[in-house]
Chain A
Amino acid sequence: MEVPDRLPGFVAALVIACILCEADAVASDPLDSPGWRIVAEQVLAGAPYRFDDRVSVHVPAVAEDPTRVPLHVQVTDIPGIQRIVVAADLNPITRAVTLLPEHRLDRVSFGTQIKVEQATPVRAAVLDDDGLWHVGGTWVSAAGGGCSAPSLASVDPSWSERLGEAGGRIFRGSKGVPDRLKFSVVHPMDAGFVSGVPRLYIQETSIHAIPDGKRVMRMLTTAAVSENPVFAFDFTGIEGVAIQGRDNNGNRFALRVAATKTVP
Chain B
Amino acid sequence: MRCAYRWGAASTTALLLMAFAAVTAAADYELLAEEVAEGVWVVPGTTEGFSRDNGGHMLNTGFVVTDEGAVIVDPGPTLRYGEQLRALAESKAGGAIARVYLTHHHPDHALGALAFSDVPVHALPATIAALERDGQKLLNNFYRLLGDWMRGTRMHLPTQSAEPGQVKIGGRRLQVLALSGHSGAGADLAILDVGSRVLFAGDIVFNARAPATPDADIGRWLTSLEAVAALAPEQIVPGHGPLAAGLDALKATRDWLDWLDNTMRDGASRGLSMGEMLNAPIPKRFASWGQARRELQRSVNHIYSSYSTAALDWN
Contacts and interface: CB of A to CB of B under 8 A. Distances in A.
Interface stretch (B37-45, B84-92, B152-160, B304-312): B304-312
Contact of A166 (B274, B308, B315): B315
A58 interface: yes
A208 B309 CA distance: 22
Given A65-B301, A144-B145, A147-B3, A111 B312 contact: no
A183 B294 contact: no
Contacts of B276: 58, 72, 111, 232
A169 B312 contact: yes
B301 A151 contact: yes
B288 interface: no
B137 interface: yes
Contacts of B301: 60, 64-65, 68, 70, 151
Contacts of B262: none
A8 interface: yes
B232 interface: no
Interface in A143-166: 143-152, 165-166
A60 B300 contact: yes
A49 to B, nearest CB: 23
Contacts of A256: 315
A73 B14 CA distance: 32
A13 interface: yes
B161 interface: no
Given A62-B294, A151-B302, A184-B312, A111 B274 contact: yes
B272 interface: yes
Contact of A167 (B10, B298, B314): B314
A168 B2 CA distance: 31
Given A10-B14, A12-B14, A64-B301, A232 B313 contact: no
Interface string B1-24: 111110100110111011001000
B297 A264 contact: no
A148 B137 contact: yes
A232 B214 CA distance: 24
B278 interface: yes
B98 interface: no
Contacts of B309: 167, 184
A168 B4 CA distance: 32
Given A64-B298, A71-B275, A230-B274, A255 B10 contact: no
Nearest to B10: A17
B275 A165 contact: no
B117 interface: no
A interface, size bucket: 35 or more
B134 interface: yes
A257 B271 contact: no
Contacts of A257: 313
A246 B125 CA distance: 44
Contacts of A150: 141, 145, 214
B140 interface: yes
A182 B312 contact: yes
B7 A61 contact: no
Given A70-B301, A117-B5, A14 B10 contact: yes
Given A10-B10, A255-B315, A144 B141 contact: yes
A111 B275 contact: yes
A28 to B, nearest CB: 22
Among A111, A166, A191, residue most surrounded by chain B Cβ atoms (within 10 Å): A111
A98 interface: no
Contacts of B270: 171, 180, 263
B269 interface: yes
A13 B273 contact: no
A251 B1 CA distance: 26
Contact of B214 (A110, A111, A147, A151): A151
A71 B274 CA distance: 7
B313 A152 contact: no
Interface string A238-260: 00000000000000001111000
